[in-house]
A and B are shown apart, each in its own frame.
Chain A
Amino acid sequence: AQRVTQPEKLLSVFKGAPVELKCNYSYSGSPELFWYVQYSRQRLQLLLRHISRESIKGFTADLNKGETSFHLKKPFAQEEDSAMYYCALGRYSGAGSYQLTFGKGTKLSVIP
């Protein structure tokens, strides 16, 4: 069975400090990983996906299959990064639909 683990419920960092939000997964197939973000009073939205290898808002995430991890990193935290972050694992269901399994989320608080 697939599982996504985000070990930190809350992460507080000072503005300008590096940020690392941890995500580990278990999945027997070839994993597709995502990070979704929810800012205060906004809807949940995609931040980045591993196959595109892009940097969004200064965040990057590298898929490490050996460690089954997909940690989200940013070198210098900004106050506007304060939000709830969810790691998600994508897979195809038996019906052919593409589903996401989400972690429990990490709330990032950037201290001014």
Chain B
Amino acid sequence: DVKVTQSSRYLVKRTGEKVFLECVQDMDHENMFWYRQDPGLGLRLIYFSYDVKMKEKGDIPEGYSVSREKKERFSLILESASTNQTSMYLCASSLYGREGDYEQYFGPGTRLTVT
């Protein structure tokens, strides 16, 4: 059974702080993703990674960066948190390949509040 875990369920940070959100998956998936989930806006892709040290920007990368030093771990970094980054952050993982449609497995989410 695929397990995607996120380091925190709830996080409160101050404006200007550097914030790290951690995600770990235990199924040896190549792909990992970070989304933010906002009411009325759905899920929006921030960044994804298809291999260790490889990353690509998603639809809303501004204000975020990512790090993937190990295959199982994908970190989202808010260099200087702002109030408009208050949101639910979801991590997901999936297999890599050009054939088929690979299901994304999601973590439980981290609700980040920036005050």
Q: Are B96 and A43 neighbours in the complex by a CB distance under 8 Å? A: no
Interface size of B by CB at 8 A reads 31
Nearest to B108 among chain A residues (CB) is A43
Query: What A residues does B101 contact at CB under 8 A?
Result: 32, 34, 49, 51, 90, 98
Check: B70 CB closer than 8 A to any chain A CB.
Answer: no
Nearest to A103 among chain B residues (CB) is B42
Q: How would residues 34 to 59 of chain A score, 1 for a CB under 8 Å from any chain B CB and 0 otherwise?
A: 10000000011110010100000000
Query: What A residues does B98 contact at CB under 8 A?
Result: 92, 96
Query: What B residues does A102 contact at CB under 8 A?
Result: 35, 42-44
Q: Which residues 23-64 of B have a CB within 8 angstroms of A?
A: 30-31, 33, 35, 40-45, 48, 50, 54, 56, 58
Check: B106 CB closer than 8 A to any chain A CB.
Answer: yes
B102 to chain A, nearest CB (A): 5
Given contacts A44-B90, A51-B101, A93-B56, contact A99 B108 (CB under 8 A): no
Query: What B residues does A92 contact at CB under 8 A?
Result: 98
Residue in contact with B41 in the complex, picked from A44, A45, A46, A104, CB distance below 8 Å: A104
Residue in contact with B104 in the complex, picked from A6, A46, A93, A104, CB distance below 8 Å: A46
Give the docked Cα–Cα distance between A103 and B56 (Å). Answer: 21
Q: Are A98 and B56 neighbours in the complex by a CB distance under 8 Å? A: no
Q: How would residues 89 to 112 of chain A score, 1 for a CB under 8 Å from any chain B CB and 0 otherwise?
A: 010111111111111110000000
Check: B75 CB closer than 8 A to any chain A CB.
Answer: no
Check: A9 CB closer than 8 A to any chain B CB.
Answer: yes
A93 to chain B, nearest CB (A): 6
Query: What A residues does B56 contact at CB under 8 A?
Result: 93-95, 97
Check: A86 CB closer than 8 A to any chain B CB.
Answer: yes
Give the docked Cα–Cα distance between A102 and B43 (Å). Answer: 6
Give the docked Cα–Cα distance between A104 and B4 (Å). Answer: 23
Residue in contact with A43 in the complex, picked from B33, B41, B42, B106, CB distance below 8 Å: B106
Q: List 8 A-B contacts (CB under 8 A).
A: A43-B106, A44-B43, A46-B104, A49-B101, A98-B31, A102-B42, A102-B43, A103-B42
Minimum-distance CB pairs A-B, first 7 = A104-B42, A97-B50, A102-B43, A44-B106, A43-B106, A46-B103, A105-B42
